[in-house]
Structure 1
């Protein structure tokens, strides 16, 4: 056995003769790994020759980082497909073949992180000191060249070419009880070769303890603090790390900046620090201004707050002047550390999401439900500094001073809200791609003026605003919570009904909302008018609770569509809540204002321009391996599937939104094993919600629900080839609003016979006063769908559906069958009524199917049943049939208000 060589330690030690040399070495490493971050490697298929495969995979990067976080461990990282596949190993690797070192798989890391050595600030994920303990290249062992299969099946065998790590190694995923852990547990094992060591030899982690790049110890790296990794700041985008000067140099630079700031302030008018300044507010606009002289910032989704520092005391005041200091104590404590004695800041307290946008739901959870999310105060304006009024300065100058004031603050807690001066339209487009709320454009020369003015304009990607709760319904399951909230706003002194929301609730918010709303209950509605069908089962409340809601659009009758609850807003009075529409046309200062009907674009139009569901645009969702083929017959890729979901979202969502759904996932495509998923887990894409449903034993579980295009398109990342909704909505789970009759024919029957059978079902339903709609199943059958008012419960609906098909079987036993027996189906059509029971689902309109060719379940007009051949629609051929979306045969379904009458029940032998 040949021991690991120690020459590297001596060589790298030469690099650490000075702090600058070590820092420069890490800069070089970071740049090297940054250059790798966009490469892609595709594994050879099973059975490929080792020579051919190694040409693809030879020279893959690896690194091992010694990490002093909450405990000392080693992060083992293998570069694959543009990321670092990562495992945490408590004891580090061992050259003893009998040692099996536990390796806990963690999330993939950006490639650039493989070149990092330095500090991750406390409070961030992985906070502590990081050393580059070893690095080099790796490749799969012959016979184990399908790396994706190895990762999936839990068996990786590879050869390492590092300074400290050499030879053959294996990573094996553990089974049994270990397979039930939240994070997969693997074992790192040294295989027999010339590099293995005996149990009595010094472990490599002790023999080679220091950095392979700089030769520094973990203590020396911690003391230097020359490089910092912001895990919350654009990780993987190239800006996640920065190099900083020594602590002494930082103090000297800070002192110099404060002296310059004092010189600038001497020219400004003196004043006593105001107690509270009424905030400047933005008007809604359709598009960003095109002329020069505007600063464009991302719109933040949080709580607007003024930070008022007076000596050692700090107040955090809401937009209405309420003192919320204790609620955002971490921010107040950081403001208190500023070197300025008296200062008033204007900004927004937010929770930063992993993609760099802001998340109001997480913010509200942190402040009301005890959730633990880091709060960040983004400062976008400066109102007062050390007895000087800065509000009359141009905004550009105020922001320059703001940068000086915040110098030295912990940027994870308090930071300047950055801006760009050109490309407002591009910024809005990018914000929408990132699923941010939108942007705010501010006149660079403008003074700070309380109230709304045309100097500040806001453009939104998503419709999101406050509403007042005027009533609620009870959930149909056994939890303590709410079924739906009835929403409203004020207009000309009247409380206007704006629709309802029944999604977005967690178990905690269910309880919180129910407790608060019960205290506000009253006997009558406060709305000026409420549609008759919206009054059923409603408990009216005093219009005092304000909630934040995100929704798709306003309907023609001025109600929100596909609305999701985000949180309760305690910083805004109910009487201030109005409908947010575009209020001005963008125009140069001093230009004459035109009539709104000629000059104003609705926000919906502006938003659609940057998120148009057009097949020519890629869906704005993150995909790994977008070129991966999910259907071999048609050539449909993961990107094509995401783009399809994005393009048909407007037509598909009305049939799945605000319902529990089950997903058919086919990670390896339509020709490989697939499985159903109906419960929420961490694998789901952004935008997926949950609805709590109790089973027959009373056990409550979170079921998947979704109601926006981004969430739908994001399903492609998981290989979701089918979407199956319930026949009832979240707000009335026990009362279905759709009947489904599934016509499943023997394959020998012709299309004409099947189409005639669907027409028979339609005629049978018409006798009972029920209008119906038809669609292909994406297979050989047809679905006849009947929209109904949610009045009867599941058992009654199932019995009614059974009665309908049994009558048809009795009338034509030679063609129709109502029992599932396969042997009896020869030459017949099975009339499946079992889709109409609690928990049953059927494939959604416009959903693909997990079958060869990836066909689509397509709504048809009844006249299309007269076609000579069965119509077939495939995802890969969407460009050929997308024109039919302009004439949706199911367009009128939402307007059909019909009931299963007592006479209809009696006609199938049921009592009303």
Structure 2
């Protein structure tokens, strides 16, 4: 299969990482590679131009925390590379330990190793469309055998159950199983599965109970989000050394509040000190009781790469079902939902099943609003952004605080099953926030929607898009255009998620105003439609907290079943209309994604410039 070239040899930008689905057993049969599951921090290491950078799984730049590791990575004999792996600290028995990693990050970063298990880019070539076996072969070839800190994560083919048994007996965390011939997909696709030796996951710290014998605490009280609400999950009183006890006490003290953070049995929380739910801890435990609290929990460490809002219970899926995603039954497949084009619900579902691999890196793991048209696009349609569980487990919830201070469960999905479940429930369109669930307060993109007045042809939109591209480029922002499937075009600038919404909104508003003042015959930023006559409205309102924009590859509830599609600026020179692609073009869209740099968010190593 052809691969894509990126000429720039600076460190490649962040791109969404592939995630593994938790399953109840190791998948059997041929076609699977089995690797060790490490107990550390997931990192993307980007190398190029004699420098290296480290990104967390959510796109945060943590390069300063891994300087010794990155100094070694920068010496790799490559023009550029993007390597996926895990940062760990090994004990004397060769086992990775999360708390030791946390201690090393604070005082001894030279103790941190990096186990590399995938290669996404090499010397400007995008490798994500290649089979895993070929990507790993190239990765092994580029890693020096004498490297002290950067190591190749080896694997075995088959015999995954035996490997898991041996790992569990040795006190290791578990096994990651990956389809040998699968491409790399920046979402939870079903081609990566994880099986754990012991149960462990993140919980929100909601308070502490005082100790009778010292000035520190006896136990931490824990919470977890369920259907968008934080609920009590029990207490943990083991796993702390003295240094960690006092460090946690210092972190919790400023967060203390009088009102309870969660509802909990009175007998469990006598004398409790409640705190704002800002800290996330990794906890090991044997099982969860019927009441939803933990048995035999043990504290492993704080998770600084996870936001409290995204902490939900991770349940084990059936390994056989998880290995075959998008097996969602679609009812009423013959129902015509695009009457003008005579296209059915079944054909829409087939489209989304086909493009899930290229759509989820954009639309997955971010709060979404659905446009649901249960009887078809010509009948009643409505927006939906909240849900109390009627979509089932494949469609998830992230708790987000509204303006009135109340917390609401926003929808998100990160698997093909989640995408298809929404379609089964009558969804045609997917609109997403400009931030991911890992941190909903920080934007990972700027979106300028160029919306033409009635009567303007697409040539006016095309020229406006190029003009906007040049303005943003002069400010240091690389962009790409997206056909909306409606009337206009989105000009999108990916961002490293650093700037918070007030700053992003202010930048977008002032830029839209400046462009309208610079060329008032062509552009306007005025909200009243009466003031847009003969001009293109620069819709900057997508760039604020809670606002959404249509997601790449989403179908539109419009005549002829068009879809939103990212394109290159070269294609923008000749494309005929914003509704150029339809749901019948799935094969073409997949081919384009393999041949062009259209998957992921492009150059995500960009900060919001001064204006």
TM-score tier, shorter chain, comes to 0.5 to 0.7
* 2:269 pairs with 1:545: no
1:657-676 aligned within 5 A: 657-676=364-383
TM-score (ref. length: structure 2):
0.53
Determine the structure 2 residue equivalent to 1:220: none
1:849-868 aligned within 5 A: 849-867=556-574
Residue from 191, 194, 200 that aligns with 1:464: 194
For the residue of structure 2 that corresponds to 1:792, the secondary structure is coil
Determine the structure 1 residue equivalent to 2:608: 900
For the residue of structure 2 that corresponds to 1:721, the secondary structure is strand
Which structure 2 residue ranges, 5 or more long, are not aligned? 1-23, 33-157, 163-167, 179-189, 208-222, 249-276, 302-318
Aligned CA distance change for structure 1 residues 569 and 774 (closer, same or farther; 3 Å): farther
CA distance in 2, matches of 1:811, 1:783: 20
Determine the structure 1 residue equivalent to 2:496: 789
Determine the structure 2 residue equivalent to 1:287: 30
Determine the structure 2 residue equivalent to 1:630: 337
CA distance in 1, matches of 2:404, 2:454: 40
CA distance in 2, matches of 1:648, 1:777: 16
1:684-721 deviations in Å (ceiling 9; x for gaps): 24401111122111112211111111010111211101
Residue from 576, 589, 592 that aligns with 1:884: 592
CA contact (8 A) 1:503 1:690 kept: no
1:129-167 deviations in Å (ceiling 9; x for gaps): xxxxxxxxxxxxxxxxxxxxxxxxxxxxxxxxxxxxxxx
Determine the structure 2 residue equivalent to 1:694: 401
Structure possessing the higher radius of gyration over alpha carbons:
1
CA distance in 1, matches of 2:293, 2:546: 29
For the residue of structure 1 that corresponds to 2:481, the secondary structure is strand
* 2:565 pairs with 1:834: no
1:72-119 deviations in Å (ceiling 9; x for gaps): xxxxxxxxxxxxxxxxxxxxxxxxxxxxxxxxxxxxxxxxxxxxxxxx
CA distance in 1, matches of 2:467, 2:365: 31
Which structure 1 residue ranges, 5 or more long, are not aligned? 1-280, 290-438, 444-449, 482-501, 526-536, 549-565, 576-605, 613-618, 908-912
CA contact (8 A) 2:286 2:295 kept: yes
1:488-499 aligned within 5 A: none
CA contact (8 A) 2:331 2:424 kept: yes
Aligned CA distance change for structure 1 residues 468 and 459 (closer, same or farther; 3 Å): closer
Determine the structure 2 residue equivalent to 1:512: 233
Q: Which has the higher contact order (CA 8 A, sep 6+)?
A: 2
1:88-487 aligned within 5 A: 285-287=28-30, 463-466=193-196
TM-score (ref. length: structure 1):
0.36
Aligned CA distance change for structure 1 residues 661 and 758 (closer, same or farther; 3 Å): same
Deviation at 1:855, TM superposition (A): 0.6
CA contact (8 A) 1:468 1:544 kept: no
CA distance in 1, matches of 2:27, 2:297: 20
CA distance in 1, matches of 2:322, 2:412: 27
* 2:484 pairs with 1:777: yes
For the residue of structure 1 that corresponds to 2:233, the secondary structure is helix
1:244-266 deviations in Å (ceiling 9; x for gaps): xxxxxxxxxxxxxxxxxxxxxxx
Deviation at 1:643, TM superposition (A): 1.6
CA contact (8 A) 1:288 1:459 kept: no
CA distance in 2, matches of 1:524, 1:650: 42
Deviation at 1:725, TM superposition (A): 0.8
CA contact (8 A) 2:351 2:583 kept: yes
Deviation at 1:820, TM superposition (A): 2.0
Kindly report the root-mean-square deviation, in angstroms, between the aligned alpha carbons of the 2 structures. Answer: 4.5
Aligned CA distance change for structure 1 residues 569 and 288 (closer, same or farther; 3 Å): farther
CA distance in 1, matches of 2:296, 2:534: 65
Deviation at 1:611, TM superposition (A): 3.7
CA contact (8 A) 1:440 1:459 kept: no
CA distance in 2, matches of 1:756, 1:547: 61
For the residue of structure 2 that corresponds to 1:783, the secondary structure is strand
For the residue of structure 2 that corresponds to 1:691, the secondary structure is strand
Aligned CA distance change for structure 1 residues 760 and 836 (closer, same or farther; 3 Å): same
Determine the structure 1 residue equivalent to 2:219: none
CA distance in 2, matches of 1:610, 1:472: 24
Deviation at 1:641, TM superposition (A): 1.4
Aligned CA distance change for structure 1 residues 793 and 881 (closer, same or farther; 3 Å): closer
CA distance in 1, matches of 2:502, 2:378: 37
Determine the structure 1 residue equivalent to 2:457: 750
1:637-658 deviations in Å (ceiling 9; x for gaps): 1111112112111111122222
Count of aligned pairs: 375
Aligned CA distance change for structure 1 residues 571 and 780 (closer, same or farther; 3 Å): same
CA contact (8 A) 1:471 1:538 kept: no
